Amino acid sequence: MNTDFIKTLAVELATRINKLVNIPLVKEEDEQKFFEMVVMMVLEIVIARLGKELEK
């Protein structure tokens, strides 16, 4: 799968999460980067698992 697509999707999902969740004492920019990192990791795991399932 295209990594640019995954990155774009991660940023979009992280932005939506960031609008809903506020972490006290953390700057918005840092929150955004944190959520992007977490969403990217989750997407990579899900896509890897889907790839294994599709091979079966």
Q: Report residue 48 as tokens.
A: 């890897």
Rounded CA gap, 11 and 30, in Å?
Answer: 13
Count how many domains the chain has. Answer: 1
In angstroms, the CA 16 to CA 18 distance is 5
Domain containing 35: what range?
3-55
pTM confidence score: 0.83
The tens digit of pLDDT for each residue in 6-51 reads 899 999 999 999 999 999 999 999 999 999 999 999 999 998 898 8
